[in-house]
Structure 1
Amino acid sequence: MSAVLSLKDVSVQFDTHMALHGVNLQMKAGERVALVGANGSGKSTLLRVAHGLLKVSSGSVSVAPEVHQAMVFQRPHMLRTSVLRFVVWGLWLQGTPWREAHVRAMQALERVGLQDMAERSARTLSGGQQQRLALARAWALNPNFVLLDEPTSSLDPHAKREVERLLAEWVASSNVSLLFSSHNLGQVKRLATRVIYLEAGRVLADLSMEEFFNRPLGESHPEAHLFLKGELG
């Protein structure tokens, strides 16, 4: 697979606001790409475009036919149902037979340590547990391309570590491609192989993780340099 995702000159406009300006992006299978930048820089918009949730105003988006993708949002919406059925419904709507969906859902819950809460209401879980449940549902769908929008931003430190550990195990155990946004630069260092810096809807830096954090960026990418120094964002 040459590219799991390709964006060519993509722009997105909401009324008078340009959320993305001429973005070009190609992702190869197995890459783990982090989107960084200040609030309003276009990270969430880019993720939603990549997942087919937003139409572009101009440009083109293509996803390889072999790609099966899933997205986990910053604050997953919990259905008014049990933890188990929250996962089962996703599989069933995808076409998985009901009995098989239950088996796969329990396996996914075990993977994130929620098997003992299978019959609890999904809406009664803590924030960290809800994020793990959202990951379980994505896991159960067996995607090879996963998109994550600030997956740990609203969690306490313990829950952040747990969710990040699960993500690290996921990418280590398969060739899953990962596109995620994060304000946590330590998390970016630990999970990403490539970093894209966005500002006002434009891609101003697209570098390997090592280059982004270890190479002097003052002359080549001044905006990203200021962001890393904490002077932007």
Structure 2
Amino acid sequence: MVNILPLFVQSASVKKNGKCLLGPVDLELGEAGLTIILGPNGAGKSTLLRLLHGLEKPSEGRVRFAAPRAEAYAQQAFVFQTPVMLRRTVLGNLTYPLTAHGTKRAEAQKQALTWLKIIGLAGHEHQRASQLSGGERQKLALARALIRAPQLLFLDEPCANLDGASTRDIEGLILKAREAGTRILMATHDLGQARRLATDVLFLNKGKVTEAASADSFFSSPQTSEAQAFLKGDLVI
């Protein structure tokens, strides 16, 4: 398997209708860790994730992986804030990414059933995915992203609107994925969650990365006034 990281972003920006939503951004994403993206509403967190994943094309600048683009896209996954369910059963949602990439159906079902046990949905394999609760759908979406062991995983507010138990379960899956070697970029509004999960932090404000630091450094001594205000719960203007 080709290593797709590091990921290089060079003077990249995203513009829509004459307005700059993000950038210019310059950063290098290394091969290990769990980067948490923080910032006020409208800072550009989701846009940055979409740009890095390829859902947004840069209006200017470049986003470059250490591998050809097709290989890079095949080795990454994205989980949205509102989980996207295929119009299939729970089992069908999990087998799809495997069979779509050439895994034989029997083997795909075997792996999917194992994942259903991991996420606590054993016995639900024939249920329509759309009938699951919000927390169950998010766990299924995350399992569907992880079942192919991607090198890079993007998470956009995966625990928004979930209760404490579901959040705990999702965080557990995320940490296990990181321990297994998956590089993770995750946007969240939850500072407690950021402190629990982050190895490093990107802080965005008004479409720009204004601070990038290790988690310990960021939470103990943020360097910018905007980050200081954000961590205190003040409005960031």
Say whether the fold is shared (TM-score over 0.5): yes
Q: Could you report, residue by residue, the CA deviation over 1:38-61 in whole angstroms, capped at 9, with x for unpaired residues?
A: 111111011111111111100100
Q: Could you report, residue by residue, the CA deviation over 1:133-156 in whole angstroms, capped at 9, with x for unpaired residues?
A: 011111211112111000101211
Give the partner amino acid of 2:105.
W
CA distance in 1, matches of 2:121, 2:12: 39
Contact 1:3 1:26 in 2 (8 A): no
Residue number in structure 1 paired with 2:90: 83
CA distance in 2, matches of 1:153, 1:183: 8
Deviation of residue 99 (structure 1)? 2.0
CA distance in 1, matches of 2:191, 2:57: 29
Contact 1:108 1:139 in 2 (8 A): no
Residue number in structure 1 paired with 2:7: 5
Q: Could you tell me the TM-score, scaled by structure 1's length?
A: 0.93
CA distance in 1, matches of 2:8, 2:108: 32
Distance 1:19 1:143, change over 3 A: same
Residue number in structure 1 paired with 2:34: 32
Residue number in structure 1 paired with 2:16: 14
Contact 2:23 2:207 in 1 (8 A): yes
Residue number in structure 1 paired with 2:145: 138
Residue number in structure 2 paired with 1:49: 51
SS at match of 1:195: strand
Residue 205 of structure 2 corresponds to residue 202 of structure 1: no
Residue 213 of structure 2 corresponds to residue 232 of structure 1: no
Deviation of residue 3 (structure 1)? 4.1
Residue number in structure 2 paired with 1:191: 197
Residue number in structure 2 paired with 1:97: 104
RMSD value over aligned CA atoms?
A: 1.5
Distance 1:147 1:2, change over 3 A: closer
Contact 2:4 2:151 in 1 (8 A): no
Residue 226 of structure 2 corresponds to residue 223 of structure 1: yes
Distance 1:205 1:156, change over 3 A: same
Give the partner amino acid of 1:34.
I
Q: List alignment gaps of at least 5 residues for structure 2.
A: none
**Equivalent residue for 1:73, pick from 64, 72, 80:** 80
Contact 1:43 1:198 in 2 (8 A): yes
Deviation of residue 64 (structure 1)? 2.4
Give the partner amino acid of 2:46.
S
